[in-house]
Structures are given as C-alpha cells and as structure tokens.
Structure 1
Amino acid sequence: MTTTIPTASVLRPRAEEQYAEELAYLAETDDRPRPPGWRLSPWAVTTYLLGDGDRITPKYIGPRRIVEVAVATLATDRALLLLGVPGTAKTWLSEHLAAAISGDSTLLVQGTAGTTEEAIRYGWNYARLIAEGPSREALVPSPVLRAMAEGRLARVEELTRMPSDVQDALITILSEKTLPIPELGEEVRAAKGFNIIATANDRDRGVNDLSSALRRRFNTVVLPVPATVEEEVEIVARRVAQLGRALELPEVSTGLEEIRRVVTVFRELRSGVTADGRTKIKSPSGTLSTAEAISVVTNGLALAAHFGDGVLRPADVAGGIVGAVIQDPVSDRVVWQEYLETVVRDRADWRDFYRACRDVC
C-alpha cells in the first residue's frame, strides 16, 4: 500500500521537490545545448549546484572545476564515481546531479555487504513466475534497469561496500549499454540520457576494491574536505539552517561563533595540528567530518530551542562534540582530554566552552 504524503509534510523532501522552483526557472531560461535526455544544459546544471548569487541557491560549496568535470563526465558515455572521505557531500552531490539532469533522484541502489545482484539487474515476482513462467509481468526491474529504459540517471551509493561479484554486474551495463535478460531471450538497451553516478568512501579501500575492468568504466572525481575554516563554516551554517526549517525547530539565534568553534575543533583534531600551526595534537579514531559538525550543531539548536534560552551556547554543542570525538572510549578519551587541557583551556575566549566540555566529561 502506497500512501501519498504532501511534500510540505515530508520529513526530507527529494531534491527535485525541494528545489522545484529553481529547476523550473533554469529550464525556462536555459538556452544552451542540452545532451539527449537531459532536462538542463551542463551549464545550467552547474549553476543549479553552485548557485548564481541571485535566484539559485548553492547546493554544493567547493571548487567549481570539480563540479564541471563531474557534469561533463555524465554528458559522455563514462559513468561517474564520486570518491572522498566521509562527510564530503558525495551523496548530496549525486542526488542533486540526478535531480537537475533527470528530474528524478529516486533511482537508487544502496550498497551494503548484503546487496545482491538483483539490486543491479532485476528480480522476479516469484508468485507470478511459478504460476505463469518467465514473463515481462513477472519481472521486477532494478533501479538501474528502470534508468536504462527511461533514459535517466541511476545512483549507486557506497559501491565498494558491495561484494565484488555484485559490483561486476555493472560492467556489461556500462560497456555495452545493454542488460541481457536470458530468461526472456531479450535485452534492455539503454535510452539516451542514461548513466550511473556511484559514490565510494576512500577509507573503505580494501573492503571490496573495484576490479580494474570496472574502474576503467568510471571517471573518478575526488571530493575534497573544505579547504578553509570559512568555507566549512558556510557549509555547516547553510545546512543547519535548512535542517532547522525542515524539522520546524523553534527559532534559535544561531551564533556563527559556536559554529566556527565546532568547525575549528573538528579541523584541528582531523589534521593533528592547531589552526596556528604551533601545536601538534593527536587525532581520534573518528572521521570528524563536515557532516558530523552539521549534526552536532543541529542537535545543539534543538537543545537551545527546547531546553535553553533560545540562543546557541557552548553547553548546547559540548555534548555533541564529545560524543562525536570519543568513538573509542579508551584511546579517544585520552586524545580529547589532552586536547582540552593543552589547547582549549589556554584560549581566553573559549573558557565557557572549556567548562561545558569538562562538565560533560
């Protein structure tokens, strides 16, 4: 049973729903050449992702050339692999690419250790298969098969989490642009506009490495961590504001000072050195990505709204930071205590933050 819920009531609208007005505006004003099956030109897709400073809000904050290379790849016959450490917006970027190019970001395969080949190829309605034998009606198409038939983009998340034999089911699809269905004596040929965007965490190397045959069929774009504190603060502030509206949190004074503090802590612990480059520090076992910073600040907003005075303060983010840093209760706790005592305590304008973190510990 499928229940239709109004978009305004959905906890997380799809990209094509949330930004429908921007996509419609770009489609109407876009007079540049569009690849077959694309709703927008490559230039308009890039504008949608990076913003125009006016009517189009930025969805991805990072080097323009990276976005241009990704978009240009999808206009060719090569698939796109977005590679990066956790929290570098791989999934976010793939969703918005699919929304802008195909108008549909839902053709998604989520890679896990339990993903089967049917998720890439097709499965069967076994009741009908037993009753009627192999037929089109008994076939259950995968998101990839649907994308091929409809000339859209399919998304494959966490590609390297899939078993190697499942990954290799993509080779024929990407090289021949066809998917044989031997049970029916047929094949599905990809319509123009079809392509695949895959994501992979580069910390997962060695889990299920891509075969050389499969890797050759992807153009790999590495998404970097934000280059500067200012860039990361902007990303966190923008996403936190969006999440706050989506969750309908009570209005909170979102101090950039606290966001900058969270980002600074994460960046210093990630890099193993303080922002001024003077003090080397140990790094914890966790990733401390931008995505985790967004989560910490969003949780802080909820605390400030429901249990505080409506202003984001150090005590609202301290618990989230400690929880994000201390993944290993033994080694990470030592790293965090050393950081508090050797770095945070000596910063005159961080006294409240120091006390809040000490209280949590």
Structure 2
Amino acid sequence: MPAKTKKQATDAVLRQHAEQQFAHELEELAKADTRQRPPNWKLSPWAVATYLLGGTLENGFEVSPKYIGNRRLMEIAIATLTTDRALLLYGVPGTAKSWVSEHLAAAITGDSTLLIQGTAGTSEEAIRYGWNYAQLLAKGPSPAAVVPSPLMNAMELGKIARVEELTRIPAEVQDTLITVLSEKALPIPELGTEVQGNQGFNVIATANNRDKGVNDLSSALKRRFNTVILPVPGTAAEEVNIVQQRVASLGKALDLPPEAPALEEIRRVVTIFRELRNGATEDGKTKLKSPSSTLSPAEAISVVNSGVALAVHFGDGALQASDMMAGLVGAVVKDPVQDQVVWKEYLETVVKEREGWKDLYRASREVL
C-alpha cells in the first residue's frame, strides 16, 4: 500500500490546527500585509485582527471571521501581545477563550501547538522542563538531558506559549510563571544557566470564572497579565451567527452532508439557551429558573451538530425537533434532580405554549 502524502495525512486528521486549516487565508494576508510587524511576528497587528474578525482584502480576497463579537476586545488582546505583558483570556465556559488563543498564536507565530493543558495534576516540570532520566543517570545533568516544555520551546523560538485553564493548575505550580513573565528568563539551576526569551515570545493563558476559588491566581501572578474578559454574545442574532458558522465548519471537518441545518432550528436552540441562561423569556413576560449548566454558544454548537448526526444516520437527513431534543436535554440537565425540574417547567410554561414549537414539545415527551 503506498504511503500517504503529507497533504493526505493532514486532510485525514479529525481537527487540523488553525495554521493548517486556514493556511490559505494566512498566506493571502501575509502577501497583502504592508504594515509594521513586531519582531518575529508573521503578520502585523492589523492583519492579525483581520484574520480573527474577518474582512475583505484589497485584491477582493475574503477572510472568514473566527471570532464574532466586540472588535475592541480583540484589538486590546493583540496590542497586549506586542508589549512585554502576557495575556489572560477570562470568562464563562464556552465563550471562545481557547479558540481565540489558538487563532492568535497561529496568526502571530504560525504555530499554535506550544500548549500546556492545565489540570489539577499539572506539575512544575510541565511548565518549566523535565529530564531524560536515562541520560541523567548515565551522564548526570547536562543540556542533552533536559526535556524542554512547550514554554521553554516558545522562549527559545520566540513564539507564543499557550496555557489552558490556568486556574485548574495548583497555585504553587502557577507561580512558576512569575519569573518567566517578569524576567523573560527560565533558570535551570541544575546546570547553573538559564533560557532567555527571544523576541516574539509571550504567553496567552485562559481561565474560566466557574473555577474561581479553585486555584485563584496570586496577586504577583495577576500583575504579570493583562486580562481581557470575553463575554457571552450580546444579542441573539450574534449568537445565531456564531453557532451557524461553527456548525458549518465542524460539519465539513466531520464529513457530514453539505446541507446546512435550517436556520430556524439553530434559532430555536439559541433562544432556549439564552432564555434559560438569562432567567426570563425574550419578551421579559415570564420569569424562569436557570439550570446549573452554562448553556454557552459552544454547547449550542454541540447540540446542533449532534442533531445533524442523528438526522443523517437515523433519519431522513433533515434536522427535526426530535433530532435536537436529545442533545438539548443532555446540555440542560446536568444535575438529574435540580435541572430536571427547571427543564420540565420550561417545557410546560414556554415550549408547550409557544406558537410553532409544538413539534419540540412532542419530541420532549419521547425523551423524558
């Protein structure tokens, strides 16, 4: 059997890195970009903003928006990375913090893969460096025995390191970043040396407010970051646009049929999520209880994609209320007692009475 070409292997992956998926857009932007670029940046701040927010270049090339929301927030985030300050993207789960982090790194350095995933088990070595113990035992501490972390690699290459879920990392491990962010150097005391950050090096971290109180950042570490808070979409139309765009993108990646789900079905999912999240119907006439789940745009995208998969493989290919309902229940009812009460009350007081939603109410009876 012939070996796969590099392109075939890349096309076969479930999820390409941003710099691979949008390589053509980045290439076109680089050609059209005549503005000043900070040291070691692939694009100017203007071009990075255009890549994130979308736009039309002078040659007519269309750049797709990656983030739909407040332009000024993205400009602040990009401007922060041109300075010696690190960037912290903060907000509720599902507000595109990781998505923005990845695309910023892809546009600025062409490499979004220098990633440290924060968990309760993240160790100091994952942030600083580890050791090749075979080398260490054979020859003692030496540069060859050092196993660099993504952060160390970013410093040496002048790129951006990404730290996901910073507040999930134990506080004493978080503080490993203080020296790196303030001195732009990573000491290696075992070798009596250090790694210094080269031009272009910086850090983008993400944290969500649901983790507040888990491992809060020390005041010393907070001072090393500029914080940009990413909000949930301000309007229903904005949220529908986000969900519609991401559903289309993910459907293509997962090789689902090209027929897009009806816009009306996406609107219904978004409406349900916004009403439950806000604790009131859109017209403000009915107060509602809110479930424990976040009900973010990311979860709305998941509900629609799950519904499309059900429609394709077990239905007629067209997204129906029954296809969406299973995903809706799974997204809303995280606590089987409290959330079940909230969801049933919403079904009886809102869905059952709303014109044009009878099919959704009937579908709910089949699932619950």
Please give the alpha-carbon distance, in whole angstroms, between the structure 1 residues aligned to 2:134 and 2:167. Answer: 33
- Deviation of the 1:250 alpha carbon: 2.4
> Tell me, what secondary structure is at the counterpart of 2:37?
coil
Q: Distance in 2 between matches of 1:136 and 1:27?
A: 36
* 4+ aligned runs moved over 2 Å, structure 1: 250-253
Determine whether 1:325 maps to 2:294: no
Alignment pair present for 1:293 and 2:300: yes
Q: Given that residues 240 and 297 in structure 1 are in contact (C-alpha distance below 8 angstroms), is that contact kept between their aligned partners in structure 2?
A: yes
The residue that corresponds to 1:351 in the other structure is 358
Q: 1:33: which partner in 2?
A: 36
Please report how far the alpha carbon of residue 177 of structure 1 lies from its aligned counterpart in structure 2 after TM superposition. 0.4
Distance in 2 separating the partners of 1:103 and 1:252: 32
Q: How many percent identity over aligned positions?
A: 68
When structure 1 is superposed on structure 2, of 243-252 and 276-285 the one drifting more is 243-252
Instruction: Give distance in 2, aligned partners of 1:314 and 1:151.
Output: 50
Aligned length, in residue pairs: 359
8 A contact 1:160–1:208 mirrored in 2:
yes
1:136 corresponds to: 143
Alignment RMSD (CA, Å): 1.1
Contact map agreement 2:248 2:260 (CA 8 A) in 1: no
SS of 1:180 mapped into structure 2: strand
Amino acid at match of 1:351: K
| SS of 1:6 mapped into structure 2 | helix
2:133 aligned with 1:126? yes
Mapped contact 2:30–2:43 kept (Cα < 8 A): yes
Distance in 1 between residues matched to 2:297 and 2:40, nearest whole Å = 34
Match of 2:164 among 153, 157, 161: 157
Q: Pick from 112, 122, 128 the counterpart of residue 119 of structure 2.
A: 112
Q: Residue 249 of structure 1: CA displacement?
A: 1.1
The answer as to whether partners of 2:109 and 2:160 remain within 8 angstroms in 1 is yes
String of CA shifts for 1:234-286, please: whole Å, max 9, x gaps: 10010000111000012344101110000000110011000111110000111
Structure 1 residue aligned with 2:18: 15
> Structure 2 CA distance, aligned partners of 1:292 and 1:87?
7
Contact 1:253 1:310 in 2 (8 A): no
The CA distance in 2 between the partners of 1:112 and 1:240, in whole Å, is 28
Equivalent residue, structure 2, for 1:272: 279
One of 184, 195, 206 as aligned partner of 2:191: 184
Distance 2:232 2:355 in 1: 29
- Equivalent of 2:76, from 69, 92, 95? 69
Q: CA deviation at 1:114?
A: 0.1
Q: Whole-Å Cα distance in 1 between the matches of residues 148 and 183 of structure 2?
A: 18
Output one character per residue of 1:2-21: Cα deviation in whole Å (capped at 9) or x when no partner. x9772111110000000001
Unaligned runs of 5+ in 1: none
Flag the 1:253–1:223 CA change in 2: closer, same or farther, 3 A. Answer: closer
Q: Is the CA contact 1:155–1:198 (under 8 Å) kept in the aligned structure 2? A: yes
